[in-house]
Structure 1
Amino acid sequence: MRRFTQGFYGYAVALFVCLAGAGLFLLIAPQSREEHIPRLDYSITVANFGHSVPYGVWAPQRDPANWISNSNKIAKGENGAQVLTIGYATAERQHAMFAQSNEQPAAGFASRMANTDKTIGTQQVGGATWERRYREDKNQRSLVRMSPEVTLVITGTADWPELAQLAGVLQQRPRG
């Protein structure tokens, strides 16, 4: 009995017992092969944002097909302006975020959200013209739309068609 508790044999027996225990645990422990992305409802956040800003708030009228809204918040931007952000996992499981604010200067807000101030062209979505911006080192694409009252930015690692999908479901809600 002593030869199994000392030296190489003791080490080998202890190692075998540990590996057998770990294998048994992995065999009987429940495992999920499904992805789990938490879904967060943004409707209350959008309503609260609408009560705190002097313009009609933009928000998705519905989520794009197979997208999961997984974050939302109201934050303070520069000069005390309110910023609404809604984050998504897209159908292709890339990241996309919608942000809006009346922060001034609008170009500064757009550049901060897009992580670049370089415009690489424009894109038409639902009759509206959006600036395209791209930051290669972060693989970040952005659509930017500035108006006198609010700046809208859609940004993330999603490709241009997916970003356009989100832009296409945005709708301005009446103030109130």
Structure 2
Amino acid sequence: MSAGGLKAVFLAERPMLLRLLSSRLGDPDLAQDLLQELWLKLEATATGPLADPAAYLFRMASNLALDHRRSTARRIQREQGWSEVQPSHAEYATAEDTLISRERLAEMERAIAALPERTSAIFRAYRFEGASRKGIAADLEISVSPVEKHLQRAYRAIHIIRDGEGVDAARA
């Protein structure tokens, strides 16, 4: 069956596909979204001859619903894990702890600022902007190895601050 024929079967079976997704997900709006995603997959994917195109579409819809439920379960598990390691209201820092943390953060910022300009720029791009090492290397027209060495230098400076040796030791 051609892609056009499969789309015609999709259009004919659309109400049943929507009903299947709604029953599997329990959310009609989400079912509409996944039905749209199914249509986009049909647009993007070239298919060969199919013996039973309707069964193929229903299997695709079932798989989309299952994938969505699995990803939702993983997201919930991640969020629960994250909330478990966050401090409770009773564990919030005192004013003194907050002041100490701010001073240490300021020391780290000074340590990063004291690094050579290129090292600081690479560190900021990697840690704050989310750029990959490979992407940074391509932007600077260098290999990945020097990028990693710059990052090591920056991390060393931060570890020195974290271990309480101060900004002067980080410059060394």
Give the TM bin, normalised by the shorter chain: under 0.3
Higher helix share: 2
TM-score where L is the length of structure 1:
0.22
TM-score where L is the length of structure 2:
0.22
Q: Compare CA radii of gyration and give the structure with the larger one.
A: 2
